[in-house]
Structure formats: structure tokens, C-alpha cells
């Protein structure tokens, strides 16, 4: 059974987010988790591409080919994995999902939508150490060679220069996490991380249901959201930092000065 914890307070929530972060090998606190926040605990882990319908497999190539065609003059990339990261970053439907190394960044996204303050939120915590155990042998060997827990675009290009080659690495579906290139301050400030599955139509929540040892969910009750949001603001985990620029500043000010209902 998957582990689901319901936070009872800010202190309890903080403890749950950082649970299991001690690394005996490093003798440092280094959580082996990718974190993703959801404003509604009922939301599933479906990619923007899979939500386009059953034809996602057929249109994935068209989307990427035309994105590369029209974006090339502005910012060329050297691999399909960098192109995917760039496309995801700018809103193109892809098979990627956004995650963060930071539990507080995930917590921000779970509490940034004030229209959802009347429903429970959630933070997903997926152990990439556990998901790595289920990778094809070629990919596991690459991680061991590099001494890394997550991939980079360069590493993935060595193993699978195309998505077709990536999907063919195993008959069984798998998921991995990769560290995107530092495209801009937003990627850096959000400690961003992407998950990618070996099929454009796969749903990560369904894969995780079959591997409950690889993840846990932390529920943030609606009654706790205002306190969490206020304390994140005081800790400077805000749109002003996570979305540098005037758009982020405006989003932060709009939310920050919204009055709490009686």
C-alpha cells in the first residue's frame, strides 16, 4: 500500500517533508526525493502531452519537430533532451513532469492557488533511488559510471539520442529523473527536476501505484493552507523568487495582499 500522511500542523508538515533526508554515506542531510506540489490532492500525475488525448503518441513528434523548427533561430539546443526541457519550460505539451529537489518549492505550488484553499493539497515525494532500481541495465550502468542519482541531458543523449531509442530500452515501462540545463533563473531558483517515462501516453501515478515503495504523499488539509502559505511567504518562498521578473512580482503581490475570508 502507498504511504499517505496527513499533516496535522506546520511542525508536523515540516517533519514529514524532510523525513528520511539523513545520508549515512555522506553524513549530511540529502533527501533522495523528487518533490511535486499539487493544489488539489485529487489531481493525478498526468503530463500535458497525455492530457491531449489518445493520439498523444502520434502528435509528440509533430510538436517537437515544429517547436525546433520555429525556435531554432532564437535558441538552438544540442540534444533532444535539451529541446524537451526547453519546450516544457515554455509550455509546449510534452511527456515531462515538473519536480523540484526542494520540498519547500513543492509546498509553494501546493499553496499558491488561492482559489483552491477550500480543498486539501498534496506534496508527492518520489524516491529516485527506488525508481533507479527499476531502470533498464544500460541506464543503471550509466548512473553508476557517473556516480549520480539523477541524469543530465548529456548523459541521456549517450544512452538514447532519440525518444524512439529511449522507449525501446525496455519492454516494461520505466521512469527516470533528469536535471535540466540552467535555461534561466526560474529553472535555477526552483531547483527544477523533470521526470520522463518511456511512453508518451503513460501516467506516472499509475506506474507508482504498481510500485508503492517508491513514493509517498503528504496531504495538506485545507484548514492548514493559510498558515503554510503565510510562513512560506515569510521564508521568502514566493513567486517573486521562483518566477524572477515583473510577472512573478505581480503574482506575488496580488496573492500576498488578498484578504483572508472571515
Contact partners, residue 87, CB within 8 Å, separation at least 6 = 63, 64, 67, 94
Does residue 262 form part of some domain? no
pLDDT tens figures, 25-64: 889 999 999 999 999 999 999 999 999 888 888 899 999 9
The pLDDT of 142-163, averaged and rounded, is 95
Q: Is the pLDDT of residue 5 over 90?
A: yes
Does residue 53 form part of some domain? yes
Count of domains forming the chain: 1
The whole domain housing 63 covers 3-256
Task: Report how far residue 181's alpha carbon sits from residue 255's, in angstroms, rounded to the nearest whole number.
Answer: 30
Percent of the chain having pLDDT more than 90? 85
Does residue 38 form part of some domain? yes
Q: Is the pLDDT of residue 239 over 90?
A: yes
The pLDDT of 166-181, averaged and rounded, is 95
Give the pLDDT band of residue 262 (cuts 50, 70, 90).
Answer: confident
How confident is the model at residue 75, as a pLDDT? 57
Q: Which residues face 178 on adjacent strands?
A: 151, 194
Does residue 18 form part of some domain? yes
Does residue 67 form part of some domain? yes
DSSP string, 15-60: HHHTTT-EETTTTEE---EEEEEESSTT-----TTGGG-TTHHHHH
Does residue 261 form part of some domain? no
Reported pTM: 0.94
Comparing CA positions, the residue from 87, 34, 57 lying closest to residue 167 is: 57
Q: Is the pLDDT of residue 77 over 70?
A: no
Does residue 226 form part of some domain? yes
- Show contacts of 66-75: CB within 8 Å, 24+ apart: 67/92
Amino acid at each position: 500500500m502507498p504511504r499517505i500522511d496527513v499533516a496535522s500542523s506546520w511542525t508536523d508538515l515540516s517533519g514529514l517533508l524532510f523525513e528520511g533526508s539523513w545520508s549515512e554515506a555522506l553524513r549530511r542531510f540529502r533527501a533522495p526525493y523528487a518533490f511535486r506540489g499539487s493544489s488539489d490532492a485529487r489531481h493525478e500525475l498526468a503530463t500535458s502531452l497525455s492530457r491531449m488525448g489518445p493520439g498523444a503518441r502520434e502528435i509528440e513528434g509533430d510538436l517537437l519537430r515544429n517547436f525546433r523548427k520555429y525556435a531554432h533561430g532564437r535558441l538552438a539546443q544540442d540534444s533532444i533532451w535539451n529541446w524537451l526541457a526547453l519546450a516544457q519550460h515554455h509550455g509546449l505539451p510534452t511527456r515531462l513532469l515538473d519536480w523540484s529537489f526542494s520540498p519547500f518549492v513543492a509546498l509553494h505550488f501546493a499553496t499558491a492557488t488561492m482559489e483552491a484553499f477550500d480543498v486539501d493539497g498534496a506534496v508527492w515525494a518520489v524516491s529516485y533511488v527506488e525508481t533507479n532500481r527499476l531502470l533498464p541495465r544500460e541506464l543503471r550502468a550509466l548512473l553508476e559510471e557517473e556516480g549520480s542519482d539523477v541524469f543530465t541531458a548529456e548523459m541521456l543523449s549517450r544512452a538514447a539520442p532519440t525518444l524512439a531509442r529511449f522507449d525501446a530500452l525496455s519492454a516494461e515501462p520505466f521512469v527516470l529523473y533528469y536535471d535540466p540545463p540552467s535555461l534561466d533563473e526560474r529553472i535555477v531558483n526552483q531547483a527544477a527536476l523533470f521526470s520522463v517515462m518511456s511512453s508518451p501516453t503513460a501516467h506516472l501515478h499509475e506506474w507508482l501505484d504498481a510500485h508503492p515503495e517508491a513514493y509517498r504523499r503528504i496531504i495538506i488539509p485545507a484548514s492548514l493552507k493559510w498558515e503554510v502559505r503565510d510562513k512560506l511567504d515569510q521564508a521568502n518562498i514566493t513567486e517573486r523568487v521562483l518566477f524572477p521578473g515583473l510577472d512573478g512580482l505581480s503574482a506575488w503581490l496580488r496573492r500576498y495582499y488578498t484578504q483572508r475570508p472571515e
